[in-house]
Chain A
């Protein structure tokens, strides 16, 4: 395998996390990490879904009497923006877009990339070489730049942002899964399954996939953090969600115009990104600890 494009930053982080996992921390503490992450993510999802119940404001309702109200004043818990729109309402409704991207983009590339990697690793030969050269090619571009370029050509919108992520982000999954499959292919249980005359499809999905899926699932947690940041980044650059729809990155960009007077506009939506990001990170760390601890 080519070592030239060793790994993406997130892959390296995952490797570092799994390498040191399961050594010194107790089972209870490992579970705590996982549970903390799940609780945080659950809270975020609930808050976003229950937005109409939790806040009485509409995310686009203008309050001309209280523009740029600091947090806690004028009936706005997190303050209001230049049009008097409630920041909390905008964060909760906007989170629907960001969480949808975290799940939608990550889920699709997880499934797609895993299947491609599985097939490439199992089939080997020309198909494998072709797919892995393709993966190398994608890694030659900085992801953000390639995604911006694709969105630029298709036209900025949320759907095109999904499309750009789907086109580019399967490669990490494909490479991780392919490496795992190549190893698994030579092991006794696979050889036995082949000797029994099982079809390649059955061997790939019923035998190899269940034993190797943990690494791509772990990676998907790191990837979800990346995707939520990516969604916010594209929104910030004006390439994702378009105003007046509330999206965390777009809100931060909007708030940057008011940093001299109204710090809350740019900072609080960012805290939402960090909150969800940390939730996924903790789930990933906790899963890594639990899954890898059994191996040692």
Chain B
């Protein structure tokens, strides 16, 4: 079997999941109690507009036809019209993507930078000081709401120490890096809980592997064994965890964007709920789900590329 042997089957599975996602997103609008046209229009209600929305969504036609219409529009990139912004929902969403993507990537990198050294060392010296304190810290941080941690960081670093700004996205790449440091750190600390524990467990397992003994017996210096044999294999085992948990990053992003008033998708999602801007809520939900599917696929490919065993295991 080739290295990417099972990928075609997974792609097929992916298409099914993508269809399911569109179906769930489509059904979301049906949850609105009462007349959706009335709810979507809100204060900009006129009879003509209501009729236009009825026709647009196909509300007087069977539900499967409505789904067909929804999919047809989706393939043309039409997510509906936001009466709150008086713009197509797709345009509104497009304007808010950049800060969110930046924040997700930034916190993913920070999380790796924080948790890889800690998790690896905690695994090497089980029960040591670092292991114990990491355990306590991450037990606490697991029970910590991300938005609260964000506020604590603001109080300490922005209000009292004046090191970082209270909120805002900043300008230019360096400006973004500086302005988004606290938000990214907030998400990264929460994410590290999972990563440290997984990497610690993976390191402990890898240390017991026979190839480590073999390498040692061949006379390879221990530091090199640790770096080239143990660390690399332990990290490999964590790649899957990393990918799966990027979904967690997205939940964190939604909250933290609201804490730091960043003009991203999370802030848009929550303000759209308050504004009853249903097409935007629907669009953002869909976008996040597609993002997760894409990230998961990417993780699978990276894993298959890094580790030849992966494709075979799944194939069986």
Contact partner of A249 (CB less than 8 A), chosen from B145, B193, B272, is: B145
Band of interface residues on B: 35 or more
* A117 vs B19: C-alpha distance when bound (angstroms): 23
A142 touches B247 (CB 8 A): yes
Complex Cα distance A198/B22, Å?
43
Q: In the assembled complex, which residues on chain B have CB atoms less than 8 Å from the CB atom of A270?
A: 144-145, 148, 151-152
Q: Which among A2, A252, A260 is the interface contact of B147 at CB below 8 angstroms? A: A252
The distance in angstroms between the C-alpha atoms of A141 and B284, with both chains bound, is: 11
* Cα separation A238 to B24 with both chains bound (whole Å): 24
Q: Given A4-B300, A140-B292, A145-B251, do A259 and B155 touch, yes or no (CB 8 Å)?
A: yes
Against A, the Cβ 8 Å flags (1 = close, 0 = not) of B184-202 are: 0000000001100110110
Contact A12 B147, beta carbon cutoff 8 Å: no
Knowing A12-B241, A140-B292, A252-B147, the reply to whether A237 touches B31 (Cβ < 8 A) is no
Residue among A13, A140, A146, A249 with max Cβ neighbours from chain B (10 Å): A140
Whole-angstrom distance between the Cβ of B7 and the nearest chain A Cβ: 11
Choice from B33, B197, B240, B288 contacting A13 with Cβ under 8 Å? B197
Distance of A175 from chain B, by nearest CB (Å): 13
Q: A26 vs B281: C-alpha distance in the bound complex, in angstroms?
A: 51
A193 adjacent to chain B (CB < 8 Å): no
A24 neighbours in B (Cβ, 8 Å): 126-127
Q: How far is the CA of A238 from the CA of B267 in the complex (A)?
A: 12
> For the complex, is B63 an interface residue (Cβ under 8 Å from A)?
no
Flag whether A192 is at the interface (Cβ < 8 A): no
Q: B259 within 8 Å of A by Cβ?
A: yes
Chain A positions 137 through 151: 1 when the CB is less than 8 Å from some CB of chain B, otherwise 0: 101111111101111
Are A225 and B244 in touch, CB under 8 angstroms? Answer: no
Check if B250 is an interface residue, CB within 8 A of chain A. yes
- Please, which residues of chain B bring their CB within 8 A of the CB of A238? 270, 274
Inter-subunit contact B244/A233 (CB<8 Å) = no
For chain A, give the interface size range: 35 or more
Give the most central of B10, B151, B250: most A CB within 10 Å: B151
Which residues of B have CB within 8 Å of A119? none
Chain B residues within 8 Å of A152, by CB: 272-273, 278, 281
Judging by beta carbons under 8 Å apart, are A225 and B142 in contact?
Answer: yes
Q: How far is the CA of A140 from the CA of B21 in the complex (A)?
A: 7
Q: Does B134 contact A (CB under 8 A)?
A: no
A20 CA to B127 CA, complexed, in Å: 12
With A156-B273, A278-B140 already in contact, the answer to whether A5 and B296 are too (CB < 8 A) is yes
Complex: chain A residue closest to B272, CB-CB: A152
How long is the Cα–Cα vector from A155 to B39 in the complex, in angstroms?
11
Q: Does A100 contact B (CB under 8 A)?
A: no
CA distance A16 to B194 in the complex (A): 9
Is there a chain A Cβ closer than 8 Å to B293's Cβ?
yes
**Nearest chain A CB to B279 CB, angstrom units:** 11
For A9, A270, A274, which residue has the most chain B Cβ atoms within 10 angstroms?
Answer: A9
Which residue, of B145, B204, B245, has the highest number of chain A Cβ atoms within 10 A?
A: B145
B251 contact from A143, A255, A273, Cβ within 8 A: A143
Q: By the criterion CB–CB under 8 Å, are B244 and A149 in contact?
A: no
Q: How far is the CA of A184 from the CA of B131 in the complex (A)?
A: 36
Q: Considering only CB atoms, which chain B residue lies closest to A265 in the complex?
A: B151
Q: Which of B127, B155, B272, B314 contacts A267 (CB 8 A)?
A: B155
Across the interface, which residues of A come within 8 angstroms of B259, CB to CB?
256
The answer to the question of A183 belonging to the interface, with a C-beta cut-off of 8 Å to chain B, is no
Instruction: Assess whether A6 is interfacial by the CB under 8 Å rule.
Output: yes
* In contact, A273 and B250 (Cβ under 8 angstroms): no
Asked if A141 and B10 make an inter-chain contact with CB atoms under 8 angstroms apart, the answer reads no
B140: chain A residues at CB < 8 Å are 274, 278
Instruction: Report whether A148 and B241 are in contact in the complex, using a CB–CB cutoff of 8 Å.
Output: no
Q: How does the 8 Å CB contact mask read for A117-132 relative to B, with 1 for contact and 0 for none? A: 0000000000000000
Q: How many angstroms between the C-alpha atoms of A128 and B120 in the bound complex? A: 39
**Is there contact, CB below 8 Å, between B17 and A6?**
no
Extra A-B contacts (13), CB below 8 Å, given A229-B144, A274-B144: A4-B13, A8-B244, A16-B197, A20-B204, A24-B127, A143-B247, A145-B254, A148-B273, A152-B281, A153-B32, A233-B147, A255-B151, A270-B145
Of all A-B residue pairs in the complex, the 8 with the closest CB atoms, nearest first, are A277-B143, A270-B148, A144-B251, A153-B31, A152-B273, A16-B197, A137-B20, A142-B250
| 14 residue pairs from A and B, CB less than 8 Å apart | A17-B197, A20-B204, A24-B126, A137-B21, A140-B289, A141-B288, A142-B247, A144-B255, A149-B281, A149-B284, A149-B285, A238-B270, A267-B148, A281-B143
